[in-house]
Structure 1
Amino acid sequence: MVVRSIARGLFTLAIFAVLSVAHAADRKQILGIFYEGCENLCEGFKAGIKESGFATDITIIDLEQDKSRIPAAVAKAREMPADLVLTFGTSGTLGVIGTLDDVGNPAYLTEIPVVFTIVADPFGTRIAKSFEGSGRANVAGTFNRVPEAINIEIVRQYDPNFNKLGLLYNSNERNSAIKAAELKKIAPTLGVELVALEIDPGNDGVPDVARIAERMAELREQGVRWLYVGSSSFLNTNGELFTKTAVENGIAVVSPYEPLVREHHAMLSIAARLEDVGRLAALQALKILRDGAIPGDLPILQATDFAYVVNMEVAKKLGRYPPFAFLQVAEAVNN
């Protein structure tokens, strides 16, 4: 009887081990590759996956704005192997999947499903073909931006005397350079003079933060009172210094990054909440991993809800209080 009990116990343990291995094999592996860290969007993505009840393990790699780390991240995705890769930011996404011209290039992921997020212009960068589909079998994505013409018109509604817009851009970030070119093209059609300054000309690496104060002083001298953050991981990461220096120079910052208003000294934000964008990315991932959709067959999922946020403390310092009608639709915050 003792022998039978031991045998039965060993058999039960063996079955448990097999089931455990099978259960682990059923869990999908997601690798997040982020150019500048993962906070609200990451939490939204994780929440969306968790609430679905779909079994996954999520691993995060933070590139810390260092493009030299991208090949190792790509190798990690293949080594795991990842069932899906989530990318954050234009530079990181380009490093992981390249452009439409790089399909089949072994330096990029073409065999693993990828969902991109926070890409300022996926079509101008040739990351994707159109909103109808990415144009490549393994790539799906999200889009979170408000059109630049609308951002300019919103500033005009806030300040009827607005006619000059400042812009700092980093040519080492593809998204930042593309947004600068786009604004240079549309600003004159909207009756706005654009003063666009490169943050650190001639520097092929991460710009010197000391250049921020220098460029801000140049903008002030040229009569700029409103500054738009087109798209820049560098400025977003150095948000405290960037926005504080702007206020010191009498310049109001309009940002597509809501945390620059809530946590720093930007005055106005018109943006999709990052947590909501993360949930959109989770929907794309679930369609691929759970429902069996081919990434390239999915439309680029667009954010439809945008929040207007005004930093009232900054508005007070600059003496630019929002009009009453604006406050009817905007959220006022103090920090």
Structure 2
Amino acid sequence: MRAILQAFLVPGLVCAATLASAAEKTVLMATWRGCEEACRGVIDHLAEAAPEISVVVRDAARDRTQLTGLMDEARQAEADLIVSWGTSVTLATAGTLAQRGDPAFNHDIPQVFMIVADPVGSGIVESLDHTGRDNVTGTYNRVPEQVNVETLRELLPGMDALGLLYNPNEPNSVLKRDELAELVPDYGIRLLDRAFVLSESGAPRAEDIGDQVRALKASGADAFYVGSSSFLRANAAILGAAARDADLPVLSPYEEMVRNGHALISVAARYYEVGRLAGQQVEAILVEGRAPSDLPVARMKDFALTVNLEVSRDIDLWPPIALLEFAEIIK
């Protein structure tokens, strides 16, 4: 029997590792917001392909302080491999290319990252084909931003300005802002970007979302793009309500925002499938004996277009038939 265990505090992690020690191999999965779809995808793939591998889940619960000492915990648990979810967790464990000599980061335990929006731009790997790290590889799940912009162009042929809120405390959020600032002028679109003001604790405030959305609308935004932001994803209901009130269509890279009625449209890889892809990387390393440095970052090839027609009705904007013909419709 595989042991699939949740650990949230250091004592819990040590206990979980002890219980799982009889397994042939142990994977420590470090997550940011619980064991969601991608986490379950990893677990399900390994349960089918390598049932002798035990998985211990260590969740930070969106608290950066929980990332401190994570590598010490992994070493104490004698983990055979680390799976890291998201940029913040991956940077806290693997560090960047520039930190390869820093003993605070992981340079010895094989590591597979997933749900990292820009592993090259964030300095985690040299390229998707060659990571430049002896012990690190991962997965890449983001749709090219050109696809998102072109989808918005089909939705709004006369779009002049695109609104974006970004969190200066999230590396991916800033990277996506910079990428869009370089990209959208080629489409004749202005980027209206606004950074959240951080509180004394260094975090943005959910109560600021509504004012920021209204400010973007007043500045002339024709649509709103979520970009890459765990903060906006966690506060999707607040964002969605403010966007509806402002009659702003929202395109999100997070499909569940469309399913939950907080965004109009999404082009995205299914997180569960991303997790299964990460599980394949784990299998290649722990079962097949391949070195992480020999494995390119595995890329998702299938993406789903999802449209919420209830949101369409609320903001009186109907996607063209050309989009609806191959979209999954949420009514």
**TM-score, reference length from structure 1:** 0.90
State the match for 2:220 in structure 1: 223
1:297 paired residue among 294, 310, 314: 294
Please tell me the root mean square deviation across aligned C-alpha atoms, in Å: 1.6
Contact 2:95 2:105 in 1 (8 A): yes
Deviation at 1:45, TM superposition (A): 1.0
Contact 2:118 2:172 in 1 (8 A): yes
User: Aligned with 1:254: secondary structure?
Assistant: strand
User: Aligned with 1:187: secondary structure?
Assistant: helix
* 1:91 pairs with 2:88: yes
Counterpart code for 1:30: V
- Check 1:204–1:133 CA distance in 2 against 1; reply closer, same or farther (3 A cut): farther
* 1:315 pairs with 2:312: yes
State the match for 1:165 in structure 2: 162
> CA separation in 1, counterparts of 2:111 and 2:305?
30
Contact 2:27 2:80 in 1 (8 A): yes
Counterpart code for 1:261: V
Unaligned runs of 5+ in 1: 1-20
Identity of aligned residues (%): 40
> CA separation in 2, counterparts of 1:266 and 1:164?
18
Contact 2:111 2:136 in 1 (8 A): yes
State the match for 2:242 in structure 1: 245
State the match for 1:38 in structure 2: 35
Count of paired positions: 313
State the match for 1:139 in structure 2: 136
Deviation at 1:25, TM superposition (A): 4.1
> CA separation in 2, counterparts of 1:24 and 1:79?
12
2:104 paired residue among 103, 107, 115: 107
> CA separation in 1, counterparts of 2:249 and 2:315?
7
Counterpart code for 1:190: Y
State the match for 1:200 in structure 2: 197
State the match for 1:16 in structure 2: none
1:184 paired residue among 181, 184, 187: 181
> CA separation in 1, counterparts of 2:204 and 2:299?
31
Counterpart code for 2:187: L
User: Aligned with 1:155: secondary structure?
Assistant: helix
Counterpart code for 1:77: A
> CA separation in 2, counterparts of 1:141 and 1:53?
18
Counterpart code for 1:231: S
**TM-score, reference length from structure 2:** 0.91
Write out per-residue CA displacement over residues 192-212 of structure 1, whole angstroms, 9 at most, x where no aligned residue: 111000022576622111111
1:287 paired residue among 277, 284, 287: 284
Deviation at 1:132, TM superposition (A): 1.1
> CA separation in 1, counterparts of 2:59 and 2:241?
26
> CA separation in 1, counterparts of 2:149 and 2:244?
19
1:73 paired residue among 70, 73, 79: 70
Counterpart code for 2:31: F
Unaligned runs of 5+ in 2: 1-17
> CA separation in 2, counterparts of 1:37 and 1:130?
28
Counterpart code for 1:172: N
User: Aligned with 1:129: secondary structure?
Assistant: coil
Of stretches 223-232 and 302-311 in structure 1, the one that deviates more from structure 2 is: 223-232
Contact 1:41 1:277 in 2 (8 A): yes
State the match for 1:12 in structure 2: none
1:259 paired residue among 238, 256, 278: 256
